[in-house]
Amino acid sequence: MQQKLKPDWAGEDLLSKLVNKAIETKPLYSLMKNQARRIMINTAEKKGISWRKTYQDLENSGAKELLKKYTNPNVVYPDYYQVPFHSYEGGDCCWEAAFEAPSATLAMALRVWPQEKLSPEAAHQRLRSTFHDAIAPYLPEKITDVLDVGCSIGKSTVTLHRYLCNRQKNKVRTVGLDLSPYMLAVAETLDETGEISEWIHGLAEDTDFADNSFDLVTIQYTLHELTHQATKNIFREILRILRPGGCLAIVDMNPTSPVIQNLPPSLFVLLKSTEPWLDQFYTLDVGATMTEIGFEYQGTIPSDPRHHAIVGIKPA
């Protein structure tokens, strides 16, 4: 039997259209959204994630005072970004989203290995390590400058930075870029020892970085928040700012994974109701898009039961 490239609940299939119709029905949407939140928080707390306490700690941490520092007045938010995400009306640009992101990230990691008794932190470390292991064969020998696009509250950035520092003898300068100043304020708050060189508020499609400034750019769990057009524009920008021979490494949901294709209806409906661009993400051939933009596409590597890594190199 031929391998299915994406789940039936995404894209143009009848099932997908039916789900989309339900989501477009306002009272139903609001019911699903609230249900999604309740399930997510209660399940996380049961599995050892201190969701409510982390929120409180961040609220009292002084993070809010950093909002101004991370608000670049020249940033113009694209339309696709100014829609509700993850059941937050303000999308990624609100304190609720930023204060819940650390716990939501741990919960995401725990979902990958449901049969194993992992602590939230152990699952998170494993989620990152499987990505690092998958991309290791493609990385340039010497990496000095690294950019994590869509860094959010910085967990992907800090784990990547530590991995590269352990792997290499030279000093690594790592930068996180995100479109949400709320997320960046939390990223700085959590980066207590200042491991990351800079947290930057900016649009990945149009950065202020000079040509040829990075050896490695990652996009971790962010592609599914983008439209096809935004992905292409971001790839074009990354091709510009990478050095020749530099690497673009992506990790996100794997549309061909049996776990993803066989999600129970309650879960895929909840997922679709909280991720506005999921149909676009599941119908995008990321490797072909990399090639179209000018990368040398290296391959797509399943990194865990739900996710895969996709790697492209800027031609030398």
Q: Which residues bind ligand SAM (CB under 6 A)?
A: 81, 92, 105, 150-152, 155-156, 177-180, 183, 203-205, 220-222, 225, 230
Closer residue to ligand SAM in complex, CB, 28/37: 37
Q: Which residue is nearest to ligand SAM (CB)?
A: 150
* Residue 24 burial class via C-beta count within 10 angstroms: exposed 0-12, middle 13-18, buried 19 and up: exposed
Closer residue to ligand SAM in complex, CB, 88/295: 88
CB of 80 to ligand SAM, least distance (A): 8
CB of 154 to ligand SAM, least distance (A): 8
Nearest by Cα to 48 from 127, 122, 115, 158: 122
CB of 296 to ligand SAM, least distance (A): 24
Closer residue to ligand SAM in complex, CB, 22/200: 200
Dihedral sign of CA atoms 271, 274, 276, 277 in order: negative
Closer residue to ligand SAM in complex, CB, 245/303: 303
Closer residue to ligand SAM in complex, CB, 183/286: 183
Closer residue to ligand SAM in complex, CB, 28/108: 108
CB of 51 to ligand SAM, least distance (A): 16
- Output the six-digit token pair for 47: 């599995």
Closer residue to ligand SAM in complex, CB, 14/76: 76
DSSP string, the chain: -PPPSS-TTSTTSHHHHHHHHHHHSHHHHHHHHHHHHHHHHHHHHHTT--HHHHHHHHHTTTGGGGTTTT--TT----GGGSS-BTTBTTTTSSHHHHHHHHHHHHHHHHHHSTTS---HHHHHHHHHHHHHHHHGGGS-SS--EEEEET-TTSHHHHHHHHHHHHH-SS--EEEEEES-HHHHHHHHHH-TT--SSEEEE--TTS--PPTT-EEEEEEES-GGGS-HHHHHHHHHHHHHHEEEEEEEEEEEE-TT-HHHHT--HHHHHHHHHH-TTHHHHHT--HHHHHHHHT-EEEEEEE-SSSEEEEEEE---
CB of 141 to ligand SAM, least distance (A): 25
CB of 241 to ligand SAM, least distance (A): 13
Nearest by Cα to 146 from 66, 86, 214: 214
Closer residue to ligand SAM in complex, CB, 235/268: 235
CB of 110 to ligand SAM, least distance (A): 14
CB of 181 to ligand SAM, least distance (A): 9
CB of 283 to ligand SAM, least distance (A): 18
End-to-end CA distance of the chain: 39
Closer residue to ligand SAM in complex, CB, 150/255: 150
